[in-house]
Chain A
């Protein structure tokens, strides 16, 4: 199982903030998880089809698309940050 969190514009578009999910066998990286999520429907495809910049974090650290995901990880997806 992994925990997936969504923030800001993603949370609003998907009407989803957090979920627990079994890690599918086809998913070993952030890029593969994005591809997997994009299959859930139009709102998901719009966000995860690669046309928008979506940042990711694993266990609270910013990562790139090739980062490996393992069972027990907390994965987060969010738009580019705008604090300060």
Chain B
């Protein structure tokens, strides 16, 4: 299980291969990649800055992996999240989950992203033609998370 918070970009193919080849009982690897869009709430976004809470961020992400492991048969998991300045099409986040069968990996990956979106201490600030603004949290993200609590 790996958690990394970094300014540098990551190589999805290399990360998938490293996980895929690490154990011969792995039958499925699911990956989610999030990237910067060039629009949000109707405005063009030229640059995005990601702030986080060093120390808590890593614990939060590790805790999310532990919760996923408690619910599904997860053989390996990885979360990489970038911070600092990012531009449209830059990768922001990578979640990888390996399991023996696909269902566990699909569900665990979706669960981990839903919890990351609502619990991990990251904040986005975007630059639009009219100036800088902090991105507002979305209620739809809370609803996505709450379906796992039913």
A residues neighboring B (CB under 8 Å): 5, 7-9, 53, 57, 60-62, 76, 78-84
Select from chain A the residue with minimum beta-carbon distance to B124: A82
Select from chain A the residue with minimum beta-carbon distance to B93: A84
Q: Which residues of B contact A5 (CB under 8 A)?
A: 53
Q: Which residues of A contact B3 (CB under 8 A)?
A: none
Q: How far is the CA of A82 from the CA of B126 in the complex (A)?
A: 11
Q: How far is the CA of A62 from the CA of B61 in the complex (A)?
A: 12
B92 near A8 with CB under 8 A, answer no
A57 near B53 with CB under 8 A, answer yes
Q: How far is the CA of A68 from the CA of B73 in the complex (A)?
A: 35
| CB of A64, distance to nearest CB on chain B (Å) | 13
B137 near A7 with CB under 8 A, answer no
Chain B 40-58, CB-CB to A under 8 Å as 1, else 0, gives: 0000000000111101100
B residues neighboring A (CB under 8 Å): 34, 50-53, 55-56, 59-60, 81, 92-93, 113, 116-125, 134-137
A84 near B117 with CB under 8 A, answer yes
B53 near A7 with CB under 8 A, answer yes
Q: How far is the CA of A8 from the CA of B136 in the complex (A)?
A: 11
> Could you list some 17 contacts between A and B, CB below 8 A?
A7-B51, A9-B123, A9-B134, A57-B53, A60-B55, A62-B60, A80-B136, A81-B137, A82-B122, A82-B134, A83-B50, A83-B81, A83-B93, A83-B117, A83-B124, A84-B93, A84-B116
A79 near B56 with CB under 8 A, answer no
| CB of B5, distance to nearest CB on chain A (Å) | 10
Q: Which residues of B contact A82 (CB under 8 A)?
A: 122-124, 134-137
Select from chain A the residue with minimum beta-carbon distance to B120: A83
| CB of A30, distance to nearest CB on chain B (Å) | 15
Select from chain A the residue with minimum beta-carbon distance to B118: A81
Q: Which residues of B contact A76 (CB under 8 A)?
A: 53, 56, 121
| CB of B148, distance to nearest CB on chain A (Å) | 15
Q: How far is the CA of A83 from the CA of B59 in the complex (A)?
A: 15
Select from chain A the residue with minimum beta-carbon distance to B133: A9
